[in-house]
Chains A and B, each alone.
Chain A
Amino acid sequence: MSEMKDMILDVAERMLKDYITKDVVDILEKGDWAKDAWNLFQDNGIISVAIPEEHGGAGGDLEDLLNLVRLTGKYAAPIPFAETTLANFLLETSNLTTVDKIATYSLQEGFILQNDQVSGTLHNVPWARHAKYLVAFVKSNQGVQLALIDLADATIQSSTNMASEPRDTVTMSDAKAQLSPVLSEEQIFYARSIETAFKIALMTGAIEKINELSVQYTKEREQFGRPIHRFQLVQHQIVQLAGETAIAIAAFNNVCAAIQSKNLLHEIAYARIRFEDAIATVTSVSHQLHAAIGMTHEYALHQYTRRLWAWRDEGPNSDYWSEHIANYLLNHDDKLWAYLTKTLENS
């Protein structure tokens, strides 16, 4: 964690609070997005956090960036922040030049590299229609490489996820690209881990917000002559939310704390697997507490619950990570406790 963290998080949160109101989140559904907030983020160097200063970035580290991503999740900010910063992070770690325009990424299979030109189709690419660049895995006989592609050369078909966020189909044919060397299995896996860490950050933010909205609502809503938080069964629901929120935040913080450690992959895996429980509980309990009003477009709860439902099936999901851990356990002899304490302690 760098020294700039607290300051930049403060600045970013103030901007998000001022600019990303309920109505602003809604404009995504009309195909628009929060350009003002984006420009502010850009002017203040927030979109280039974790890019080293000598490469034209704002400095700071991945932990700073993940904390910013968590904030954009907490405000459901309709800006391509996670996308642009993850794209740049991938470029930076592959020694490609970072970009200063809107960028997005896709680590799915679909693009083929032939004679150094990219062809193929990728589905559900976030924000492609608004982005200038796409950072994607491309496959050739040699293996997988990271490509930086100008989306001006692409055919883009608009679509959205369940939360109305842009998830577009991108088709390229014989397009030029800047290419990294062939990636090792480890590098590919690392990229997928960081993609997962970004999702964990977004989900943490959304869970925090849902918890806040729900507790607030139980204080305001009265039935039978008293605020509903006075009912014991409602209290038990509040505790489910509190527990899942505490667990999500601690999981996120532990992932951040492990960024430099060789156990990062395990930390990310366990966090991501655990978020399945958290999302299932937080979405159902928060809607139950809000009852009918939570089912309306007017009220903000759906902006967060729909995002959680969408995000959990994007990128490497919990099954991917369970598979990874199961394989690890099958191939290693260490006793469970020795393994867990090593994993958890970042030794």
Chain B
Amino acid sequence: MFQLPTVQFTEEQEAFRLEVRGFLHEHIKRGTFTPKCDSWLSGVNPSFSKLIGEQGWIGMTWPKKYGGQERSTIDRYILTEEFLASGAPVAAHWFADRQTGPLLLRYGTEEQKQFFLPKIARGECYFAIGLSEPNSGSDLASVRTRAEKVEGGWIVNGQKIWTSNAHVCHYMVTLVRTSPFDGKNKHAGLSQLIIDLHAKGVTIVPIRFLTGEHHFNEVFFENVFVSDNMVVGQIGNGWEQGLAELAFERSGPERILSTFLLLDELIQELKRQGNKEGLKQATKLLSRLWSLRNLSIGVAKLLESGDAKDVAIPASLVKAFGTKFEQSIPEIARLLVETYPKLDAERKFDRYMAQSILHAPGFTIRGGTTEILYGMVAKGVVAK
């Protein structure tokens, strides 16, 4: 259950890594973006997303006929790592690239694939994730937003909450009840609908993040009409379809590297100061990063080989342990290098420190809390 493949990158993959890195450094130099911690989720920059799309770096594993490049999962892994290590603002297209594309490739109709995938790959079409509701967080199967069948489609009523970047997204894959809640089988009767966020009856209300930033939203639905061709997969199969996405969602490098910029600055500061004792302490962080990365790449390789059966446990472990690691970096770094954290600080270390501290609590919540992941892993381990 814990045996994962190891990965040796090929020369082409090394070259690709350097190509992406060079591209990002060039754009940092030109001022296209300023690196920030946690920018995979909070760094929204549509014109940068279009630039990435032009490079062929969105949906790069997808079939060419849908705008993809038919590159490997490992290539995509490398690309993602480079985005994270440079603090690039890739949030606008993130969910569409990571989740919606694979979801549609697996369950979508030909029409949906042809309509959405090329636009996503160009960096022009963004998707939000519509799962959580005010009374349904961890207990996701209890969602109440409902869709009722009408001629030619569905009428949706209800509300989603904590929807990251809904205010810049075009669509939302929305988990809704299509038949009444059944206490005996609470996972039945759920379906996934693609809702146009500009449709009549959709209202998006900002919720200010603790920093005051506009990151997430409440999304209200009042008699929103969704036509039949916007149903993803089977009606009633929404829970299973959603689960299939999770291994990808949970095990990526974004569960390890959200505060990498701070770690980078920590090492640089310690080197500048010639602080060997501090560097020795910091090697613990590097060893944790090294070992988590082994796991995460191992899971990516396993997913690529299609061997998804045994992947759920290690994928959840990557998220549970990885997010705790990225959360711990500011706590440890501030004891090694003196800092006065400020979002507008001149010194990068202080700035990244402030960004990390203020975003860190969310790492172990978004995408399923650590507690929920622990429960899943424990049950999986005991069942073996």
Chain A contact residues, CB within 8 Å of chain B? 208, 215, 218-219, 229, 232, 234-236, 238-239, 242-243, 245-247, 249-251, 253-254, 256-257, 267, 269-271, 273-274, 276-277, 319, 321-323, 325-327, 329-330, 335-338, 340-341, 343-347
Q: Is B283 an interface residue (CB 8 A)?
A: yes
* Pair A239/B374 contact, Cβ less than 8 Å: yes
* Pair B8/A257 contact, Cβ less than 8 Å: yes
- Using a Cβ cutoff of 8 Å, how many contacts connect chains A and B? 145
* Pair A274/B287 contact, Cβ less than 8 Å: yes
* Pair B317/A325 contact, Cβ less than 8 Å: no
* Known A247-B295, A250-B294, A340-B290: A330·B274 in contact at CB below 8 Å: yes
One digit per residue, 1 when the CB lies within 8 angstroms of any chain A CB and 0 when it does not, for chain B 1-37 equals: 0111010110000100100010000000000000000
Q: For the complex formed, measure the closest distance between the CB of B246 and the CB atoms of chain A, giving whole angstroms.
A: 17
Query: What are 9 sample pairs from A and B whose C-beta atoms fall under 8 A apart?
Result: A243-B377, A253-B294, A257-B6, A269-B283, A276-B284, A277-B288, A322-B280, A340-B286, A345-B14
Cα-based distance from A234 to B374 in the complex (angstroms): 10
Least CB separation from A329: chain B residue: B279
One digit per residue, 1 when the CB lies within 8 angstroms of any chain A CB and 0 when it does not, for chain B 59-73 equals: 000000000000000
* Pair A325/B378 contact, Cβ less than 8 Å: no
* Known A238-B382, A270-B286, A274-B287: A327·B276 in contact at CB below 8 Å: yes
Main secondary structure of the interface of B (DSSP, over half): helix
Q: For the complex formed, measure the closest distance between the CB of B198 and the CB atoms of chain A, giving whole angstroms.
A: 39
Chain B residues with CB under 8 A of A325 = 279-280, 283, 286
Partner pick for B284 among A245, A254, A322, A330, CB 8 A cutoff: A322
Cα-based distance from A336 to B374 in the complex (angstroms): 31
* Pair B283/A321 contact, Cβ less than 8 Å: yes
Chain A residues with CB under 8 A of B375 = 232, 235
Q: For the complex formed, measure the closest distance between the CB of A61 and the CB atoms of chain B, giving whole angstroms.
A: 15
Q: For the complex formed, measure the closest distance between the CB of B252 and the CB atoms of chain A, giving whole angstroms.
A: 16
Cα-based distance from A242 to B375 in the complex (angstroms): 12
* Pair B317/A274 contact, Cβ less than 8 Å: no
* Pair B291/A346 contact, Cβ less than 8 Å: no
* Pair A336/B8 contact, Cβ less than 8 Å: no
* Pair B381/A215 contact, Cβ less than 8 Å: yes
Having A239-B381, A273-B287, A274-B291, one finds 17 other A-B pairs with CB under 8 Å, namely A229-B378, A235-B374, A239-B320, A239-B377, A242-B2, A242-B317, A246-B4, A247-B294, A253-B6, A270-B290, A277-B288, A319-B280, A323-B280, A326-B276, A336-B264, A337-B85, A341-B17
* Pair A329/B382 contact, Cβ less than 8 Å: no
Chain B contact residues, CB within 8 Å of chain A? 2-4, 6, 8-9, 14, 17, 21, 81, 85, 260, 263-264, 267-268, 270-271, 274, 276, 279-284, 286-295, 298, 313-314, 317, 320-321, 371, 373-375, 377-379, 381-382, 384
Chain B residues with CB under 8 A of A274 = 287-288, 290-291
* Pair B271/A322 contact, Cβ less than 8 Å: no
Chain A residues with CB under 8 A of B371 = 236
* Pair A336/B267 contact, Cβ less than 8 Å: yes
Cα-based distance from A11 to B270 in the complex (angstroms): 50
* Pair A330/B271 contact, Cβ less than 8 Å: yes
Q: For the complex formed, measure the closest distance between the CB of B239 and the CB atoms of chain A, giving whole angstroms.
A: 22
Cα-based distance from A326 to B336 in the complex (angstroms): 14
Cα-based distance from A142 to B258 in the complex (angstroms): 51
* Known A329-B267, A336-B268: A346·B8 in contact at CB below 8 Å: yes
* Pair A238/B381 contact, Cβ less than 8 Å: yes
* Pair A322/B283 contact, Cβ less than 8 Å: yes
Cα-based distance from A249 to B320 in the complex (angstroms): 17
* Known A235-B379, A242-B317, A250-B298: A340·B289 in contact at CB below 8 Å: yes
* Pair A253/B4 contact, Cβ less than 8 Å: yes
* Pair B377/A242 contact, Cβ less than 8 Å: yes
Chain A residues with CB under 8 A of B279 = 325-326, 329-330
* Pair A254/B294 contact, Cβ less than 8 Å: yes
Q: For the complex formed, measure the closest distance between the CB of A313 and the CB atoms of chain B, giving whole angstroms.
A: 17
Cα-based distance from A330 to B21 in the complex (angstroms): 24
Residue of B263, B378, B382 ringed by the most chain A CB atoms within 10 A: B378
* Pair A242/B8 contact, Cβ less than 8 Å: no
Partner pick for A247 among B9, B264, B276, B321, CB 8 A cutoff: B321
Q: For the complex formed, measure the closest distance between the CB of A157 and the CB atoms of chain B, giving whole angstroms.
A: 35
Q: For the complex formed, measure the closest distance between the CB of A239 and the CB atoms of chain B, giving whole angstroms.
A: 5
* Pair B17/A250 contact, Cβ less than 8 Å: no
* Pair A329/B9 contact, Cβ less than 8 Å: no
Partner pick for B260 among A276, A319, A337, CB 8 A cutoff: A337
Partner pick for B317 among A218, A246, A341, A345, CB 8 A cutoff: A246
